[in-house]
């Protein structure tokens, strides 16, 4: 068929636009809605002893997030449930207690980055005008002890990375796999850049010190460097106090569009903008034979680059950061991967006091996964809650001075890394709020006090018209005992 002149011009124009990614990006960006976090909530994280169950963990966290946003479940247009261990549709089991409003509910599983994958999905939906108000709830009821395979009769998703580990640094059947994998990355950082075992212990010391101020943290004890170094060796350089524990816990966030926020102007003072965000999966670098690459360094780098460029910032603009310290070794390489330090210099930043109060950036003011615990599906949402409180100026007992941007990094092997940049809706610095209880919709300061919701709290947030007695009259409303 003969191409008419005007058609070919049109094609040329389209090709020009497609070739010019900058223009194409601008055109897409113009149509996207801004996305905000207006409510957050979490349960205390506790050692898994089979005493709490996921419907209570998810429900308590969700009730708190709805209370924090001051809204009723009838306003929620879609639900996203985040968990790794459990049968299909656990999300509905949790959400039906808020109401059976027939909204779409998704069940998300992305290993340790599950919670932030839920936030990412919510933002994708809202920014593309598919919804205006989404409740994301993460929860995890874990088995005591280290992570295990649950489906021994089929190909494990990580079989190739385990084979690579065997072929490079070896594999011990007597040590749990995760500390070996991340510990090897730590060893490589020592060999390549000159970090020492003390630098890894110092990272854990700082996280434990921060945890004393976080009422939701599983461990709140403070340790000396000697105590960290002298705790039982798991896989050098990682001692036990440098490894996160498994935990039961729940965390939730209410995520909304700019249009929705305009219709709820009283929430503007607590709304936190997701100024930039990206999820990256693995590149072929995963199999470069480097132990650092084998724990997803390239995912972290890519997600950080794209998220920060969307927000129009560099790592130097970040004053407060929650990052994925499942092991001190992963915090070390992540400081580097996010660009918080110069390449190969993360240990120098640690030594210079650069990752705690008074330093360049406060990393993991919550105490991080190392102290707080790591209920896989809840972790990314708990990081989000911590950073929202910091930007609101509500983290009064662990306030980070002069923060305009907060950075979140959540990593799952298998794999996915989600990096998020948060900013206040008014773009201002995070001034300390004197009377949080006076402005908080929950009437207390949830950043410094881990209260449990009451029956009245539940009554205010559950659906007014679409509740079933079969779900609502359940015995417990609190996850804690």
Ligand X SMILES: *[C@@H]1O[C@H](CO)[C@@H](O)[C@H](O)[C@H]1NC(C)=O
Q: Quick one: 49 or 154, whose CB is closer to ligand X?
A: 154
For ligand X, the closer of residues 181 and 371 by Cβ is: 181
| 3-state secondary structure (DSSP) of residue 242 | helix
Smallest distance from ligand X to CB 113, Å = 9
Min dist. Cβ of residue 67 to ligand X (A): 32
Question: Shortest gap between Cβ of 153 and ligand X (angstroms)?
Answer: 15
The binding site for ligand X (CB under 6 A) comprises 111-112, 147, 156-158, 177-178, 326, 413-414
Shorter beta-carbon distance to ligand X: residue 155 or 465: 155
Burial of 441-476, coded b for 16+ CB within 10 Å and e otherwise, reads bbeebbbbebeebeeebbebbbbeeebeeebbeeee
* Minimum CB distance to ligand X smaller for 113 or for 463: 113
Rounded least distance, CB 146 to ligand X, Å: 8
**For ligand X, which is the closer residue by CB, 61 or 112?**
112
CB-wise, 135 or 411, nearer to ligand X?
A: 411
Q: What angle in degrees, to the nearest 10, is found between the helix axes of 159-168 and 177-193?
A: 50
- Smallest gap from Cβ 410 to ligand X, in A, equals 12
H-state helical runs in 195-249: 197-211, 225-230
Minimum CB separation of residue 143 from ligand X in Å reads: 13
Q: What is the DSSP string of 341-392?
A: S-TT-HHHHHHTTTTSTTSS-EE-TT-HHHHH---HHHHHHHHHHHHHHHHH
Contacts of 365 (CB under 8 A, 6+ apart): 210, 213, 214, 320, 322, 386, 390, 395, 398, 400
Q: How far is the CB of 182 from ligand X (least distance, A)?
A: 7
Between 82 and 103, CB nearer to ligand X: 82
Write phi, then psi, for 145 (nearest 5 degrees).
Answer: 90, -175
Residues in contact with 20: Cβ distance below 8 Å, sequence separation at least 6, in sequence order: none
């Amino acid at each position: 068929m003969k191409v008419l002149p005007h058609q070919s011009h049109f094609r040329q124009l389209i090709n020009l636009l497609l070739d010019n990614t900058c223009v194409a990006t601008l055109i897409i960006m113009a149509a996207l809605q801004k996305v905000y976090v207006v409510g957050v909530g979490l349960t205390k994280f506790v050692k898994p002893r089979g005493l709490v169950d996921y419907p209570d963990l998810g429900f308590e966290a969700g009730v708190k997030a709805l209370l924090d946003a001051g809204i009723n479940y009838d306003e929620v247009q879609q639900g996203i449930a985040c968990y790794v261990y459990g049968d299909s549709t656990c999300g509905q089991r949790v959400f039906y207690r808020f109401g059976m409003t027939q909204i779409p509910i998704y069940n998300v599983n992305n290993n340790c980055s599950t919670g932030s994958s839920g936030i990412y999905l919510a933002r994708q939906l809202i920014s593309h005008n598919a919804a205006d108000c989404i409740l994301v709830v993460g929860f995890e009821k874990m088995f005591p002890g280290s992570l295990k395979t649950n489906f021994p009769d089929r190909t494990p998703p990580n079989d190739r990375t385990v084979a690579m580990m065997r072929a490079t640094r070896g594999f011990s059947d007597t040590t749990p796999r995760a500390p070996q994998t991340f510990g090897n990355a730590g060893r490589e950082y020592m060999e390549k850049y000159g970090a020492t075992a003390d630098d890894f212990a110092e990272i854990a010391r700082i996280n434990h010190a921060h945890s004393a101020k976080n009422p939701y943290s599983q461990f709140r004890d403070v340790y000396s460097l000697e105590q960290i170094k002298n705790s039982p060796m798991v896989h050098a350089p990682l001692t036990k106090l440098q490894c996160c524990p498994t935990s039961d816990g729940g965390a939730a966030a209410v995520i909304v569009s700019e249009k929705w926020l305009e219709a709820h102007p009283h929430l503007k003072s607590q709304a936190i903008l997701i100024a930039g965000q990206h999820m990256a999966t693995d590149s072929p670098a995963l199999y470069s034979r480097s132990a650092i690459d084998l724990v997803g360094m390239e995912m972290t780098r890519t997600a950080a680059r794209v998220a920060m460029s969307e927000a129009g910032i560099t790592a130097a603009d970040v004053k407060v950061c929650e990052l994925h310290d499942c092991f001190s070794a992963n915090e070390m390489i992540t400081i580097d991967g996010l660009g918080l330090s110069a390449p190969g210099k993360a240990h120098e930043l640690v030594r210079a006091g650069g990752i705690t109060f008074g330093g360049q950036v406060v990393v993991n003011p919550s105490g991080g996964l190392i102290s707080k615990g790591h209920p896989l599906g809840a972790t990314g949402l708990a990081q989000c809650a911590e950073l929202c409180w910091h930007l609101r100026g509500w983290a009064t007992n662990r306030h980070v001075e002069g923060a305009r941007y907060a950075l979140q990094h959540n990593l799952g092997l298998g794999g996915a890394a989600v990096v998020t940049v948060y900013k206040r809706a008014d773009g201002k610095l995070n001034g300390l709020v004197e009377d949080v209880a006076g402005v908080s919709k929950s009437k207390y300061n949830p950043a410094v006090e881990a209260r449990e919701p009451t029956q009245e709290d539940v009554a205010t947030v559950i659906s007014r018209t679409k509740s079933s007695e079969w779900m609502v009259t359940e015995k417990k409303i609190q996850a804690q005992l």
